Amino acid sequence: MSDNIPQVPQKLLFVCLGNICRSPSAENIMNHLVAVQGKSDRIMCDSAGTASYHTGAAPDRRMAIAAKKRGITLHGRARQFSQQDFQQFDLILAMDRSNYQNILALDPEQKYRDKVKMMCDFCTSYPDKEVPDPYYGGVDGFDYVIDLLFDACNGLLASEYLT
């Protein structure tokens, strides 16, 4: 088998701050898109937060409502990102620059740096560079995050990393 054929299954980890808004949305949207494409046996998704404040918590209710409007049910409980995740996952997708820096800070030797990507680098329609933190904003922010994540997840699914 050639070296540039990805190992299967591909394991993706979506990371935000609290793991109750953006990253569980990304995880569940990606699972949905992967299932629609019949690739559930080849692509596995999980999510985590760089902070531990919400460990064990269900997704934020406002985020769950916004996801439901687009046909996505948010499953899972919050957990904190850990150093072991660098070995466990093939790609680690940061929602914003602060998440990205916090993830890389746990890899001082930069061994896993190439696995860590910015989620919005996979957007094809939205111009955003980061997935905005909706936690302290209005309800529109949650809807926006879902639409933005659909774009990024579709882009990721079509990217060189997963094809």
Rounded Cα–Cα distance for residues 57 and 15 (Å):
15
Q: From the list 14, 19, 81, 149, which residue makes contact with ligand 4NP (rule: CB under 6 A)?
A: 19
Min CB(61)–ligand 4NP separation in Å:
12
Min CB(19)–ligand 4NP separation in Å:
5
Q: What is the DSSP string of 116-136?
A: EEEGGGG-SS---SS----TT
Instruction: Determine if 21 is a binding residue for ligand 4NP (CB under 6 A).
Output: yes
Q: From the list 9, 53, 88, 106, which residue makes contact with ligand 4NP (rule: CB under 6 A)?
A: 53
Q: What is the DSSP string of 104-118?
A: HTT-TT-SSGGGEEE
Q: From the list 12, 13, 20, 156, which residue makes contact with ligand 4NP (rule: CB under 6 A)?
A: 20
The neighbour count for residue 155, using CB atoms within 10 Å, is 17
Min CB(140)–ligand 4NP separation in Å:
15
Q: From the list 14, 22, 81, 86, which residue makes contact with ligand 4NP (rule: CB under 6 A)?
A: 22
Min CB(117)–ligand 4NP separation in Å:
17
Q: State which of positions 71-130 bind ligand 4NP (CB under 6 A).
A: none
Given a contact cutoff of 8 angstroms between Cβ atoms, the answer to whether 13 and 85 are in contact is yes
Residue 47, helix vs strand vs coil: strand
Find residue 107's DSSP bridge partners.
none
Torsion of CA 160, 17, 70, 156, to 10 degrees: 0
- Site residues for ligand 4NP per CB under 6 A: 16-22, 49, 53, 133, 135
